[in-house]
Amino acid sequence: MRSAARSFLALFVAVFVLMATQRAGAWSESGHHLVALLAFDELTPEEQQKLLAILAAHPRYAEDFTPPEKIKNADRFRVGTAGYWPDIARKLPEYNRPSWHYQLGATLTLGEPSEYQVPKTPGELPTDATLETQDLHIAQAIELSRRIFNDQAAPPADRAIALCWLGHLVGDAHQPCHAGSLYAARLFPEGDRGANSIPTRQKNNMHALWDGLLGGRYSEGTLDRRVKEIAAPEFAVAGNAAMAAENPLEPLVWLAESRSAAVDHAYTHEVLGPVKATMEEGGELPEIYFSEAYLKQAGKLAQLRAVAAGKRLAAIWREGTR
- Element spanning 109, H or E: strand 106-110
Q: Which domains does the chain have, with CATH numbers?
A: 25-321 (1.10.575.10)
Q: What is the pLDDT of residues 305-319, one digit of tens each?
A: 999 999 999 999 999
**Which pLDDT does position 20 carry in this prediction?**
33
pLDDT tens string 11-67: 554 444 333 333 333 369 999 999 999 999 999 999 999 999 999 999 999 999 999
What is the predicted pLDDT for the residue at 6?
A: 58
Largest CA distance in the chain: 61
Q: What angle do CA 292, 293, 298 make, to 5 degrees?
A: 100
Given this model, what pLDDT does residue 1 score?
A: 59
The verdict on pTM exceeding 0.85 is yes
Under DSSP, is residue 202 helix (H, G, I), strand (E, B) or coil? coil
Please identify every stretch of the chain with a pLDDT value under 50, giving residue numbers as ranges: 13-26
Concatenate the DSSP letters of all residues of 245-292 into one string.
SSSTT-HHHHHHHHHHHIIIIIS-HHHHHHHHHHHHH-SPPPPB---H
Its sign, for the CA torsion 38, 43, 49, 53, is: negative
pLDDT of res. 11: 52
Tell me, what's the pLDDT at 26?
38
